[in-house]
Amino acid sequence: MRVLGIESSCDETAAAVVTEQGRILSDVVRSQVTLHAPFGGVVPELASRDHMRAIVPVVQEALARARLGLEDIDGIAVTHRPGLMGALLVGVQLAKGLAFGADKPLVGVDHLVGHLLASFLHDDTAVATPRFPFAALVVSGGHTSIYRVDAPFAEHIRELGGTRDDAAGEAFDKVAKLLGLGYPGGPIVDRLAAQGDPRAVAVPRPMPGVRSLEMSFSGIKTFIAGHVARAGAPATAQQLADLCASFQSAVVETLVRKTIAAARREQLGTVVIGGGVAANRGLRAAFAKACADKDLDLVVPPPSRCTDNGAMIAYAGALRLARGDRDGLDLGVSTTTVLPRATRRGGGRR
């Protein structure tokens, strides 16, 4: 089965052709980073307009690289939740039109399910893939949650803990903006952190309780802002690197500690991480060490499959199509995930 996947949930316009075994036949991603960089973040209206300009050429390129025509495709999968409403509509409307015009089956895919399954993707090179069940962390600019994944379908995925407020990726971008590092801030902070001392600034660890799998990253941003207000902006390159390293260490330690605790609590032997922040080198290294220490298997996609892409949507959709799932032309979009939340947003005692 060869499935065309379309992704337009935020600021990447992407399309790919993938088989139900996870083999990538083509994968095309058009980023909007330069469009949004002057604003320090994604502007939803600009994102939607750019998706409208780019999505047809991106889909055409994905089919061309796979050396297939639309008539050769066995089905169409599209991200329909969660994401920016206007951005999602662009991808979903095109997918509906293609499905109707070519008489192909259509399925909607939850964006987070796509990230959770990205580790199963491969090309002609053999790669290690996880076995069900496993513990998984999805960490990006909009989402930070830990899941138990028993099967590759939404009804078999359960949130174990998540952030009460900001996503970890948002904290990276906001701290980078505060320090004048540009957008997107995550890769810049990661690069500078590799040159700094993570003990230089005593950044507090949020929600350090051993039992709780919940997280919070709003306070870390506030702490960094307060530190800069008190001590002034870093005066040297080394001071800047030290501050980035201290901040990143606090975030990474929290993510690793909570995820490992979740895996041990659920008696799972495998940990999977996905989402844009999973491309962070400091995070990957910390997870590798922690999983080795705890005798856990770690599976992490290549960086290109951590960020938003059409291949993960095509694969998740191919699995739904293979078991007989179909969505109609009334398929809608939503800003929220279909995965039930176990973590209540906001502060206060639980």
Q: Are residues 283 and 147 in the same domain?
A: yes
Is residue 330 situated within a structural domain? no
In the chain, the number of structural domains is 2
Q: Are residues 290 and 152 in the same domain?
A: yes
Q: Are residues 180 and 280 in the same domain?
A: yes
pLDDT at 74: 98
Q: Are residues 183 and 235 in the same domain?
A: yes
> What are the pLDDT tens digits along the chain (350 aa)?
999 999 999 999 999 999 999 999 999 999 999 999 999 899 999 999 999 999 999 999 999 999 999 999 999 999 999 999 999 999 999 999 999 999 999 999 999 999 999 999 998 776 789 999 999 999 999 999 999 999 999 999 999 999 999 999 999 999 999 999 999 999 999 999 999 999 999 999 988 876 889 999 999 999 999 999 999 999 999 999 999 999 999 999 999 999 999 999 999 999 999 999 999 999 999 999 999 999 999 999 999 999 999 999 999 999 999 999 999 999 999 999 999 988 877 766 65
Distance of CA 112 to the CA centre of its chain: 7
Strand order of the β-sheet with 270-274 is: 157-162, 144-149, 134-139, 270-274, 297-299
Q: Are residues 197 and 172 in the same domain?
A: yes
pLDDT at 323: 97
Q: Output Rg (C-alpha) for the chain, integer angstroms.
A: 20
Cβ neighbours of residue 173 under 8 Å, at least 6 residues apart?
40, 41, 141, 183, 184, 185, 186
pLDDT at 347: 66
Which residue range forms the structural domain that includes residue 165?
A: 134-300
**Packing angle of the helix pair 185-193, 168-178 (nearest 10 deg):** 80
Nearest-angstrom CA–CA distance, 20 and 324: 13
3-state secondary structure of 24: strand
User: Residue 153's domain is classified under what CATH number?
Assistant: 3.30.420.40
pLDDT at 125: 73
Is residue 57 situated within a structural domain? yes
Q: Which residue has the tokens 């893939």?
A: 129
Residue 168 corresponds to which tokens in the numbers above?
Answer: 């970890």
Nearest-angstrom CA–CA distance, 315 and 222: 39
Is residue 342 situated within a structural domain? no
Beta-strand runs (E) in the chain: 2-7, 12-19, 24-31, 75-81, 106-110, 134-139, 144-149, 157-162, 270-274, 297-299
Nearest-angstrom CA–CA distance, 159 and 139: 13
Nearest-angstrom CA–CA distance, 34 and 82: 23
Is residue 332 situated within a structural domain? no
Q: Are residues 199 and 314 in the same domain?
A: no
Note whether 223 and 166 are within 8 A (CB): no
Nearest-angstrom CA–CA distance, 46 and 279: 25
Is residue 337 situated within a structural domain? no
pTM value is: 0.95
Which of 233, 249, 235 is CA-nearest to residue 196?
249
Q: Are residues 140 and 254 in the same domain?
A: yes
Q: Are residues 99 and 187 in the same domain?
A: no
Is residue 186 situated within a structural domain? yes
Q: Are residues 159 and 289 in the same domain?
A: yes
Nearest-angstrom CA–CA distance, 292 and 260: 11
Is residue 348 situated within a structural domain? no
Q: Are residues 234 and 145 in the same domain?
A: yes
Is residue 327 situated within a structural domain? no
Residue 214 corresponds to which tokens in the numbers above?
Answer: 């919940």
Q: Are residues 205 and 227 in the same domain?
A: yes
Q: Which residue has the tokens 């290294």?
A: 285
Q: Are residues 113 and 172 in the same domain?
A: no
Handedness of CA 47, 53, 56, 57 (dihedral sign): negative
